[in-house]
Structure 1
Amino acid sequence: MVQAQEKITYDFTVDILSGSLKGRQFTGFFTYDSSALQGEEEETIKAEEVEFNYLSQYRRENPGPNLIFKRGNFQRMVWVDGKQTERFGFNGGFNRRQFCRASEVFIREGKDYFGYLDRYTYVDGAGVITYVKRDSVLLGDRKNPESGDHPGDSTTVTEIPSAVLLRCEKISGKLRIRVISEGYNRDVNVQFPRSIREVGALYVVDEVELSSNGKFYRTVGQIRRLVLPEDITTDH
């Protein structure tokens, strides 16, 4: 029996931590056909479509960048591209030892990274990548989560699970994500996709980890929107 084709889409965000673009954020997405996966320990398939809004817009269709999976679960994208003055790499195209700054230690430790060159083709800086599966993020109305008002609607999370709870707050005119679970520093921002931030919204993730410089948290695992009955409070 032929496995039914199912197109999966991931949005990704690149937050630049070092170099001339430090502090900037770039976004994109990719799609793939899940029927191409065999569920092996580790396998690589090609993205069917990818778009990256970098300094210029880059869009590729079949065959696109390599997507790495482990037992059917997405792990990372490997993509090297860009015109000569804007060369960049997602988990490729660089020797990890080229990144020597303190903020880049995660690259030397073997973790996922985004690297880029300056216009003169010297290694300029790096950033971290956040992936969000579109059908795992609920963007619906908290009072009516099944209203379907937003195209990104999916399964509704109605209970606080044994995970880390986050809240979007407006601080100094900007939307910030803070951890509100006990045991974490609530004054530290969480690295989070801007496209799904909504003031007052609650989210759950598997865990968060503190960046190497101690200035922000990174999410680990899928991001889900939390919808609670009106009479439940999340303040501790």
Structure 2
Amino acid sequence: MPPLSREVCAFVGEQLLLGWVRQARPALSPHLETAWLTDNSRYLGTDLQLLRTALECGSDTYDYAWNYPIARLLAQSIGQEWTRKKIAAFFKSGEKAPALLKAYHDRPRILPQRYVLPGMQDTGGTVSSLYRQIGGLLLLDLQDLDAGAVDHSIGDRYARLLQSMQDGSVFLALDRQQVPLGYVLWQRNGEGETVHLEHRIACRQRLPDMLASLGNHCPQVAMELRHTKPTASSRGIRQ
């Protein structure tokens, strides 16, 4: 396997390890993630500058570190886009690995565009925290343009989300940096059956992260959502 592809495999393996540690060995997670971020500062700092200089000025010698920044970005994109089956095939591909990466050759950027919302740091006030959470929900409505919620009156939507928060029938998922991943909203009838279920996500690639967070806090809702095929308009179910 050529060096660049081999490093992509190594970095994808690191991401898979970090994902497993977060679930199975959470006490180790901060230490490994700190090491991973430290490596990032080198791969996308010094090593990237060396590669840029070599491309602009030329070089009489080959530096293996040139592989790292490109491989790091490719691994990040692969982790977001590829299925586990495709990743496994890439690990087994040997000298054919570059052919599996050819989809990136004509792309203007390696990493896909992602909607990033500001982090929701705890301000210590119940009222201000409530406003920030509702604001995060509304921003997610605006980000998920396929959902159709932006066509509703913002006042009506605000009142609906506030009522759901008071009823405990909405879950806002945040990542480790307190950035909103998405939210899930549901309604149940008098018999406890779910009659409405919808979700919004800031970035489709982060849906597994949102489902994992939902599963930790609202396992029943997470199970129902996993077995739901969302429509293009509502991204949820209506019965």
Superposed pair shares fold, TM > 0.5: no
Give the TM-score normalised by structure 1.
Answer: 0.24
Q: Which has the higher helix share?
A: 2
Name the structure with the higher strand share: 1
Larger radius of gyration: 2
